Structure 1
Amino acid sequence: MFSQNDKLNILVIRFKRIGDAILTLPLCNSLKLTFPNACIDYVLYEEMAHLFYGHPYIDNVITIKEDERKNLIKYLKKVYSVTRKKYDIIIDVMSTPKSELFCLFSLSSPIRIGRYKKNRGFTYTHKTKEPESLNKIDKFLKQLLSPLSEAGFNLKTSYDFKFYSTEKEKQNYRELMTKSGVDFSKPVVAFSIYSRVQHKIYPIEKMKEVVNYLIKKYDAQVIFFFSPDQKEAIQSIHKEMGNNKNIFSNIETPTIKDLVPFLENCDYYIGNEGGARHLAQGVNLPSLAIFNPYSELKEWLPFPSEKNMGLSP
């Protein structure tokens, strides 16, 4: 077995939605703190990978491309090529038959940790059961790092999932927002009025009431941010609201990473719960999120406070 200060290779697997990937960052940070000389590799779907390039908790981002996701032969080739690195620790946060293949191709890895699933996980050295009544970050840390503590390592945990942009990136977005007509002398609200996931969308007509209230009471500058495929729907909603000059639907965030400097230039986040809300908390932006009936607020709103709030049915 290796020691805590060895130059280890550690693989963390969490390809799914952006919110899941963000809330796994504390696990990566905890591994970095516990094994300071380790190389942390993080497996993600290609569309969310941009957000994690250069992040201080991660040494290498390994992307699963769309064609590799959809073609089993290509996917197997990708898993095989990744696992030739010979990892000392593999943590399969996903713990699905597809993600477990990384462990199947790495049976020589001393520690292979996954979540307990009935009749699955035969390639793991440790199958861990989920603790109750904890938010997702706590669950990941307590569930997936416990085998390391039990093995005698001095575990150092962190709940941090901060995101950063450079001063130049932040300034570029401020200039872009100013050219688009945003008045920074007034409150600037990043408003998630829409979502890629249909069941996460709070009724649009009720959202319009919230927007109109913010404008009437606070003279707020409300920015409807969106991904490229949502542009038409967002601008249609803006048009329905009379193209109000306090509402902006012309500020684009082409990639998920562009949301970081954009949010850093806002005063508040309001809207549907999702990956953007987690990013808002990650850049220390006050937020109020509306949770859909299928998402447990206690799980998906880590460390609620007066600064990070959520509403749930």
Structure 2
Amino acid sequence: MKILVIQQKMIGDVLTSTIICESLKEKYPASEVVYLVNTSTIPVLKENPSFDRIIEFKNENRDSKFAFIKFLIKIRNEKFDLVVDAYGKLESNLISLFSNSREKVSFYKKYTHWIYTKTIPRVASPITNASTAIENRLRLVYSESELVQNIKRPKIYLTTDEKEAAKRLLVTHKISSNEPLFMISVLGSEDIKTLPFSYMAMLLDEIVKTTDGSIVFNYIPSQKEAARSIYNLTQPETQRKIYFDVFGKSLREFMAILSQCTALIGNEGGAVNIAKALDKPTFTIFSPWIIKKDWNMFEDGKMHDSIHLIDMKPELYGSTSPKKMKKESLELYKEFTPDLIIEKLNLYLTQFSNQK
């Protein structure tokens, strides 16, 4: 049996959807599972045994109709028996349709359900602490009665060489192994997913004050100046504990450095999902417009905890869903002041004081 799993979104989604591949491998042990993903997300998948190979969806396939038609022909020639479309947008709709597979599964949408032989409605509320992001993906493989016993956690696989290189990097920068080391997601992927700079700086001051730990930043190269702005807003005592130049030059290097950290703290995004897949503790600050229950995967209030403005000031939302407040997110962020976060953050940090 030859199976294609499609997930063309960002790193967090691609990583999370590996559980679909893993589940299909378990359900059909003799099958070949192929994972179709965007080029930029491939580094998070290396060494992962949940699928047999990757089909790369390149930017040119999106930018050129001719290239996309050639890609569709390539997919059809693969002769897949089953297609599982976890993306569910126009590109993957067309890929599923032109695959000519006898079985095609995706999430239900009233205007595309006819493309698929089976569609699964997304369930709005989780039944475990895995989050709806996990549970709904697994519904593409398992029946409702099978779901709970087949809950899975996404995993990242690093080589020994990668981890050893990260250890050497920390030693080179004289980062002590006798104190906590926190990776901080100081910036989100966009402004509406980023805590105000001055607020984040105050949280960094609090982390150092509470734990006497060291700090490294997570950001992409284009965000370096913004990250430096946050650094400049911190207290001198905090700056002495921030190793600004310890930075992964690639996604794999970042993941290897994160594997050596005590925990990841900061804005919700792909880095949080990566930390969880590396079995690293996380404290997540959700954007005011993100629906928390969709992405607070495996939260237990200890190893993984989070905070959302709606937890602290529900009156700002009334009966309105956070997602419908997206246009107001920057104004809502002003209400998400550090004093609202610090009490819960400090409680979380106590478990890491004076330990690596």
TM-score when scaled to structure 1? 0.90
Residues 244-264 of structure 1: per-residue CA shift (max 9 Å, x gap): 120122122233232321111
Q: How does 1:103-118 map to 2 (within 5 A)?
A: 103-107=96-100, 109-118=101-110
Q: Choose between structure 1 and 2: higher helix proportion.
A: 2
Aligned to 1:56: 49
Q: Displacement of 1:104 after TM fit?
A: 1.6
3-state SS in 1 of match to 2:104: strand
Once the two structures are overlaid, the 10-residue window that deviates more, 58-67 or 85-94, is: 58-67
Aligned to 2:88: 95
Q: Displacement of 1:239 after TM fit?
A: 3.5
The amino acid across from 1:102 in the alignment is: I
Structure 1 gap segments, 5+ residues each: 1-7
Q: Displacement of 1:298 after TM fit?
A: 1.1
Q: Distance in 1 between matches of 2:228 and 2:167?
A: 21
Aligned to 1:3: none
Residues 217-265 of structure 1: per-residue CA shift (max 9 Å, x gap): 2211011122222223223332343581201221222332323211110
Aligned to 2:203: 210
Task: Check if 1:119 corresponds to 2:111.
Answer: yes
* Aligned residue-pair number: 300
Q: How does 1:124-203 map to 2 (within 5 A)?
A: 124-134=116-126, 135-142=132-139, 144-146=140-142, 157-203=150-196
Q: How does 1:271-290 map to 2 (within 5 A)?
A: 271-290=266-285
**Aligned match of 2:22 in 29, 40, 46?**
29
Once the two structures are overlaid, the 10-residue window that deviates more, 113-122 or 39-48, is: 113-122
Residues 58-94 of structure 1: per-residue CA shift (max 9 Å, x gap): 2112111122222222122223213311111100111
Q: How does 1:8-27 map to 2 (within 5 A)?
A: 8-27=1-20
The amino acid across from 2:103 in the alignment is: I
Is the Cα contact below 8 Å between 2:82 and 2:104 reproduced in 1? yes
3-state SS in 2 of match to 1:191: strand
3-state SS in 2 of match to 1:98: helix
3-state SS in 2 of match to 1:12: strand
Q: Displacement of 1:206 after TM fit?
A: 1.0
Is the Cα contact below 8 Å between 1:14 and 1:92 reproduced in 2? yes
Q: Displacement of 1:207 after TM fit?
A: 0.9
The amino acid across from 1:269 in the alignment is: L
The amino acid across from 2:269 in the alignment is: G
Q: Distance in 2 between matches of 1:156 and 1:208?
A: 42
Aligned to 2:76: 83
The amino acid across from 1:122 in the alignment is: W
3-state SS in 2 of match to 1:47: helix
3-state SS in 1 of match to 2:306: strand
Runs (4+) off by over 4 Å: none
TM-score when scaled to structure 2? 0.79
Aligned to 1:5: none
Q: Percent identity?
A: 26
Q: Distance in 2 between matches of 1:183 and 1:63?
A: 40
Q: Distance in 2 between matches of 1:69 and 1:127?
A: 25
Going from structure 1 to structure 2, the CA distance change for 1:82 and 1:256 (only over 3 Å counts) comes to farther
**Aligned match of 1:269 in 259, 264, 270?**
264
Q: Distance in 2 between matches of 1:235 and 1:64?
A: 34
Is the Cα contact below 8 Å between 1:52 and 1:58 reproduced in 2? no
Residues 151-209 of structure 1: per-residue CA shift (max 9 Å, x gap): xx9x9834121212122211101111221232221110000011222211011111111
Going from structure 1 to structure 2, the CA distance change for 1:87 and 1:156 (only over 3 Å counts) comes to farther
Q: How does 1:185-264 map to 2 (within 5 A)?
A: 185-241=178-234, 244-264=239-259
Aligned to 2:36: 43
The amino acid across from 2:104 in the alignment is: R
> What is the CA RMSD across the aligned residues, in angstroms?
2.1
